[in-house]
Every structure is written in C-alpha cells, then in structure tokens.
C-alpha cells in the first residue's frame, strides 16, 4: 500500500517555557557506571563525534529549561561527568543511522558518547561489531579508538532527561537537530529506530504522520524520500532482562538492515 508523500519539514521551534518543576533527583552511581570520565576539553581529533556547529549539534544548547537544569545539577554532583548535550557518533555519510531515545545519566551523559558507559550499549556495540559496523566490540569512552564503519548513532533528545523520560515538548524542541542531521544522509539510508520515541522522532523530521507508520519490533517501511525505517525494541537492561528483546531478535534486525543497505 502506498504511503503519503512527505510534507514540508517543520521549522525550528522557539525556545520553550516551562513551569518550575519539583526538585530534580539525580540518580546515584551504580556498579555499571563508567570508571573513567573525560572533560569537555579532552576530545581528540578524529574520535568520530560531530562538532558543535549549532545546526546538527550544539553543545551549548539550553532550549529546554528542565533539561538544562538537570544538567547543571548533574555537573555539581558529578563534576567528572560530561554533563552536556551528546553529539552524534560515527560516519557522516553512513548508510546505517541508529536513533535512540536520549543519553543515560551514568552512560552517555557521563562519557560524552552515545550508548557508552551503561548497560544499553553493551549489546549494541557487540552487535555492531559482529555485523561489521564497528571496529571493536566494546565502547569504553569517547577517545578509546573505536570507529564506526558506514554507521552512525544519534538520539532523539541530545540531553539526559530526569528518569530517562523526556517530555513531549522536549522531544519536539530537539527535533530540528535530528532533522538537520538526516538531511546530510544518503538517499537510501537505513534508519534504525530503537524504541517508539526514536521511531516517531524520525517521522517528525521527515514530515510524516506516525499514524501511517506503526512502531513494532522488526517492522520496516520504505519512506517516500527513499529511506528505509526499521524498528527494534530498545536495547535497555529492562527489555533484555525481561526477554522482551533477545540477542537473536536484535541481531535479526541488524541482519535485515545490512540486506537493505546492500539492496537485497
């Protein structure tokens, strides 16, 4: 069945205003927290993270008051954590772009690289390596020499949200960064959404209605612009511990993505 043609992408929304929220609780360190952090100034050339250009990524962005406040509190309690918007990681012309939810507090928010430092990244990077998209199976910190091969990892929301739950207005406000990022992608790119928020964020960037493209693990859609959208349950600890997502299920999604990239 044919899909509706893409509508004009929405313009960058204005800065949001928000009522003063209740005091924000910073999660305590747990045993899977990274052992080594790197300061904002420790980045090395060629580490695969996109620069802060103000369009695709802006490390100084404070457009979401609640998230900006949460980052500020995080910097006070964990001064060795990155605690800033997290840049996309990987190949600028990648044919596989993975879109997650948002940085985890003790993961990407601590290390400065998507899916690095917490449990969710373990299965992701192992699978990327197994299918030839990563130079090594483990991501330790953003200057560890890991390279992604024809792949990139990004998030629907670039800043860590309290309780891992961004508000709808925060997802909308951050969407223009993903929109600018996907505008540079090859026409036949495979967009792999980890979870429904990533799925809907992709559709928003392309001006498509979520009601026409229902999220479901293993679902795939040929989009009007020539892109492919594939869905997977998020590789979170909860989903893997409850067996909602198994290693075999996750690998099947990547196997299909590789087939689509190859045109088969």
Q: Which CATH architecture has domain 47-262?
A: 3-Layer(aba) Sandwich (3.40)
* 68 SS3 class: helix
pLDDT of residue 66 exceeding 60, the answer is yes
What mean pLDDT do residues 106-113 have?
96
Tell me the average pLDDT of the chain: 87
Count other C-beta atoms under 10 Å from residue 73's C-beta: 16
How far is CA 9 from its chain centroid? 20
Q: At how many degrees (to 10) do helices 120-130 and 247-262 cross?
A: 40
- Cβ contact 61:49 at 8 Å: no
Q: Any idea what DSSP says for residue 163?
A: G
pLDDT at position 197: 98
Residue-wise pLDDT for 117-156, tens only, equals 999 999 999 999 999 999 999 999 888 999 999 999 999 9
Q: Is the pLDDT of residue 93 over 50?
A: yes
Which residues lie closer than 8 Å to 258 by C-beta, 6 or more apart? 131, 132
Closest CA to 203 of 2, 6, 1: 6
Q: Determine the pLDDT at residue 51.
A: 78
Q: What is the pLDDT of residue 16?
A: 43
CA 49/CA 29 separation, integer angstroms: 25
The pLDDT value given to residue 252: 99
From the list 108, 104, 88, 107, the residue with the least C-alpha distance to 96 is 88
Identify the pLDDT of residue 50. Answer: 75
Does residue 189 surpass a pLDDT of 90?
yes
Give mean pLDDT, residues 28-37. 44
Residue 2, pLDDT above cutoff 50: no
Contact 159, 64 (CB under 8 A): yes
Q: Measured between alpha carbons, how far is 228 from 13 in angstroms, rounded to an integer?
A: 26
Do residues 110 and 82 touch, judged by C-beta distance below 8 A? yes
Q: What is the pLDDT of residues 5-32, one digit of tens each?
A: 444 433 444 444 444 444 455 665 444 3
pLDDT band at residue 4 using 50, 70 and 90 as cut-offs? very low
Task: Give me 136's structure tokens.
Answer: 């090594």
- Residues of 7-31 as b/e, b for ≥16 C-beta within 10 angstroms? eebeeeeeeeeeeeeeeeeebeeee
pLDDT in the model for residue 142: 86
What pLDDT sits at residue 30? Answer: 43
d(CA 171, CA 16): 11
């Amino acid at each position: 069945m044919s899909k509706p043609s893409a509508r004009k992408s929405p313009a960058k929304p204005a800065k949001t205003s928000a009522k003063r929220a209740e005091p924000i609780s910073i999660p305590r360190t747990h045993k899977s927290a990274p052992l080594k952090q790197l300061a904002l100034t420790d980045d090395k050339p060629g580490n695969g993270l996109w620069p802060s250009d103000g369009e695709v990524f802006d490390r100084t962005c404070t457009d979401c008051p609640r998230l900006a406040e949460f980052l500020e509190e995080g910097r006070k309690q964990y001064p060795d954590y990155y605690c800033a918007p997290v840049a996309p990681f990987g190949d600028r012309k990648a044919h596989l772009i993975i879109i997650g939810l948002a940085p985890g507090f003790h993961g990407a928010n601590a290390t400065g690289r998507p899916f690095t430092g917490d449990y969710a990244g373990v299965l992701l990077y192992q699978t990327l390596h197994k299918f030839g998209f990563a130079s090594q199976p483990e991501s330790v910190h953003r200057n560890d020499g890991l390279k992604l091969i024809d792949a990139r990892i990004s998030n629907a929301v670039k800043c860590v949200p309290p309780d891992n739950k961004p508000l709808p207005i925060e997802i909308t406000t951050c969407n223009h960064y993903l929109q600018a990022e996907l505008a540079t992608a090859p026409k036949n790119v495979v967009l792999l959404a980890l979870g429904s928020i990533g799925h809907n964020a992709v559709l928003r960037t392309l001006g498509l209605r979520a009601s026409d493209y229902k999220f479901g693990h293993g679902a795939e859609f040929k989009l009007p612009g020539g892109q492919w959208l594939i869905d997977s349950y998020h590789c979170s600890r909860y989903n893997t511990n409850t067996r909602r997502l198994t290693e075999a299920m996750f690998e099947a999604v990547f196997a299909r993505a590789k087939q689509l990239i190859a045109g088969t």
